Amino acid sequence: MFSNVAGAQNDKMKIALVTPYDWATPGGVNLHIAPLAERLKAAGNDVRIVAPSSRPERNEGCVTVIGESAFGLPATGSVAKVSLSYDLGPRVKQLCGREHFDVVHVHEPFMPLLPFQFLRYSNATNIATFHAAREGGSRLYAYSKYIIRPWWGRIHGRIAVSGAALRLIGKHFAGRYRIIPNGVDCGFFANGSPTADFADGKRNILFLGRLEKRKGLPFLLEAFARVKRDFPDTRLVVVGGDGGLRSVCELYVERNRLPDVVFTGYVPDEAKPHYFKAADIYCAPNTGGESMGMVLLEALAAGAPIVASRIEGFSEVLTDGSEGLLVPPRDSEALAAALKRLLSDHALRKKMAQRAQKTAKRYDWASVSARIIDYYGECMADRSEGHA
Percent of residues in the chain assigned helix, strand, coil, to nearest 5: 45, 20, 35
pLDDT in tens, 1-41: 333 343 444 579 999 999 999 998 888 899 999 999 999 99
CB of 175 closer than 8 Å to CB of 153:
no
Tell me which residue of 375, 292, 371, 379 sits closest to 39, measured CA to CA: 371
182 close to 161: Cβ distance less than 8 angstroms = yes
Superfamily of domain 186-362: Glycogen Phosphorylase B; (3.40.50.2000)
pLDDT of residue 53: 92
pLDDT at 3: 35
Read off the pLDDT of residues 179-237 as tens digits, 9 standing for 90 and up: 999 999 999 999 989 999 998 999 999 999 999 999 999 999 999 999 999 999 999 99
| Nearest-angstrom CA–CA distance, 244 and 246 | 6
What's the chain's average pLDDT?
91
Domains 5-183+364-383 and 186-362 share a fold: yes
Return d(Cα 314, Cα 293) in angstroms, integer. 6
Domain 5-183+364-383 has CATH 3.40.50.2000: yes
Give per-residue pLDDT as tens, 255-296: 999 999 999 999 999 999 999 999 999 999 999 888 888 999
Q: pTM of the predicted model, to two decimals?
A: 0.90
Domain ranges of the chain: 5-183+364-383, 186-362
3-state secondary structure 230-241: HCCCEEEEEECC
pLDDT above 90 (res 297): yes
pLDDT at 81 over 90: no
Instruction: Assess contact for 372 and 180: CB atoms under 8 A.
Output: yes
Classified as helix, coil or strand, 34 is helix
Burial class (CB in 10 A: 0-12, 13-18, 19+), 131: buried
* Tens-digit pLDDT profile for residues 314-326: 999 999 999 999 9
